[in-house]
Amino acid sequence: MSGAPPGPGALGGLGFLRAAAAGKLLEFFIDLVRRYGDIASFTLGPQRIVVVNDPALVEEILVTRQRAFVRDTGAQLLRELVGEGLLTTDDPTHLERRRIMQPAFHRARVAHYGEIVVGETERIVRAWRPGTRIDIGVEMARLTLAAVGAALFGTDLREGATEIAGVLASVTERGGALGGLLAFAGPLLAPIRAAFPNRASLLFPRERARLEAIVAPLVARERAAGDGDDLLSLMLAARDEGGRGLDDAAIRNEICMLVLAGHETTANALTWTFALLAQHRDIEAKLHAEIDAACGTRSPSVDDLARMPYVAHVFDETLRLYPPAPAFARRPITEIELGGYRISKGASVFVSPFITQRDPRYFEEPLAFVPERWAHPTQPKFAFFPFGGGSKMCIGEPFARMEALLAIATIARQFSMQRTDDRPLEIAARGLLKPARPVMLAAVAR
Ligand code: HEM
């Protein structure tokens, strides 16, 4: 085993901070692996940061050797905001939570929310005046919030999700402004947190209180009403093998976390989808033909999805080029060997769907938007991993797919999306992968 993975050392740390402040971290990571290879590293103060771009090593990190790693510091920051939950903990708490929550997110269970998604999509597009310019990012965020809100709390209380998202957005905007400096906050936080074990949140006390004030009445109402069929009711009724369920504090955390993890990701994926369709009229025409043949003049349903493979190919190709979670990290709990190099305990090890999914070794013409490639995929395992992998893989994937495919079919059945300018699509990566500026499209009635 040789030393640390190759790279520019402390100079890389300066470049990292500059790139983080400019929202150009992905470009920085791409340049790093291009220069130094599929496992490369640099240092940021005492912290070593490793970037991995080899599908076999990605599988080791996320799946086969996942017990050797814990979440990175971002999770500690997130824990200050949404508390201990599925998205912010490691084993044993993570495993316990995942066992309790998993049944509510099984594919068959999630299909149940298809009608809600179609209903919410139709409600949103009803307001689109044919031909007027719409900010597709804003519209898709409204759609996914309404859908996740209705699935969580029922249609009449869907606005609860919008209120929660409003509080979370105020914090993430502040966090984004601090850029790469937050990379230091995680390690500093651990000893400070140990000194104040009973404080719900050191960094965001006001926001935590506001979140609790929004969620508590929703939980109380649901407990009193008993047997609803929304996700919150399922979570309240869920038990592990020992008969243990989630208490109110755990439920509150999981709800905030589901709103956080569940709406902007899918909203960004849908925004990129329609932006790409507007640029590729031949692909949009093929999509329209498939949807028309499957649905005719009625609204799409979950049962139609099996007859619309091209809709799924368009969505997968969008996730390949623009994965909403473009990079995420783990920390080894002891010094380990990875790809022949020594990785120190506590190093940040990044894997990146964005980088690997644009690698010409795994995808021919990697920058081209070609949904047809998904009819016969040829890439190795973990060359495409927009939802992660292993025990921390996205629990919401079945929900996100069902939601996105039905939203695409519902919208594309009624509208053609057309560009309003010729500027190329540019990305901004501050946490999630977003368009650098609003994508304005004309929704033309078909
Ligand atoms: C296109 C949409 C989505 C994408 C690309 C996406 C991506 C991801 C990724 C990459 C992870 C793993 C992160 C890691 O390993 O550190 C993750 C975890 C998670 N996602 Fe998603 N997600 C999406 C939609 C959703 C939705 C709709 C929900 C909920 C309704 C959701 C809830 C979660 C949760 C709870 C976790 C943590 C799971 C765990 O650690 O056990 N996501 N997501």
- Edge-to-edge strand ranges of the sheet holding 39-44: 39-44, 47-52, 348-351, 328-332, 69-71
Q: Select from 235, 321, 394 the residue to mutate for testing ligand 1; criterion: most ligand atoms less than 8 Å from CB.
A: 394
| Residue in the block written with tokens 């790469």 | 180
- Kindly report the pTM of this predicted structure: 0.94
Does residue 277 form part of some domain? yes
Task: Count how many domains the chain has.
Answer: 1
Query: Is the CB of 175 inside a 6 Å radius of any atom of ligand 1?
Result: no
Question: Is residue 182 in a domain?
Answer: yes
Q: Is 3 within a domain? A: no
Ligand 1, atom 41, lies closest to the CA of 392
H or E stretch at 338: strand 336-338
Residue 4 lies in a domain: no
Instruction: Report CA torsion sign: 263, 441, 429, 34.
Output: positive
In a domain, 300, yes or no: yes
CA distance 313 to 269: 13
389 CA distance to ligand 1 middle (Å): 10
In a domain, 346, yes or no: yes
Please work out whether the CB of residue 328 comes within 6 Å of at least one atom of ligand 1.
yes
Q: What is the pLDDT of residue 185?
A: 58
Q: In the prediction, which pLDDT does 163 show?
A: 87
Bridge partners, 427 (sequence order): 435
Instruction: Fill in the amino acid letter for 106.
Output: H
Amino acid at 266: T
Burial class (CB in 10 A: 0-12, 13-18, 19+), 92: exposed
- Please say whether the beta carbons of 25 and 16 come within 8 A: yes
Atom 11 of ligand 1: nearest residue by CA position: 394
The verdict on residue 17 lying in a domain is yes
Sequence-ordered list of residues with C-beta below 8 angstroms from that of 165, at least 6 positions apart, any chain:
145, 259, 260, 263, 264
Q: Which atom of ligand 1 is nearest to the CA of 389?
A: 15
Does 2 reside within a domain? no
pLDDT at 242: 84
Nearest CA to ligand 1 atom 2: 266
Task: Classify residue 19 by burial, with Cβ atoms within 10 Å: 0-12, 13-18, 19+.
Answer: buried
Residues spanned by the domain of 391: 10-445
**What are 304-318's pLDDT values in tens digits?**
999 999 999 999 999
Q: One-letter amino acid identity for 440? A: M
Q: How far is 219 from 248, CA to CA, in rounded Å? A: 8
Distance CA 162, CA 170 (A): 13
Q: DSSP string spanning 401-417?
A: HHHHHHHHHHHHHHEEE
| Torsion angle in degrees (nearest 10) through CA of 406, 411, 416, 418 | -100
Instruction: Give yes or no for residue 98 CB within 6 A of ligand 1.
Output: yes
Would the CB of 266 count as within 6 Å of ligand 1?
yes
Q: Which of 291, 393, 306 is nearest to 59 (CA)?
A: 393
- Tally of CA atoms within 13 A in the half-sphere of 88 that contains its CB: 22
For residues 444 and 130, give the distance between their C-alpha atoms in angstroms, rounded to a whole number: 5
The residues of the chain scoring below 50 in pLDDT are: 177-180
pLDDT for the residue 191 = 67
Model pLDDT for residues 376-405, shown as the tens digit of each residue: 999 999 999 999 999 999 999 999 999 999
- Per-residue confidence (pLDDT) for residue 435, from 0 to 100: 92
386 CA distance to ligand 1 centroid (A)?
9
Q: Identify the CATH number of the domain in which residue 430 sits.
A: 1.10.630.10
Residue type, 9: G
The DSSP symbol for 379 reads P
Pocket flag, ligand 1, residue 78 (CB < 6 Å):
no
Task: Give the chain's largest Cα–Cα span.
Answer: 64
Residue at token pair 């990146």:
352
Q: What is the pLDDT of residue 161?
A: 87
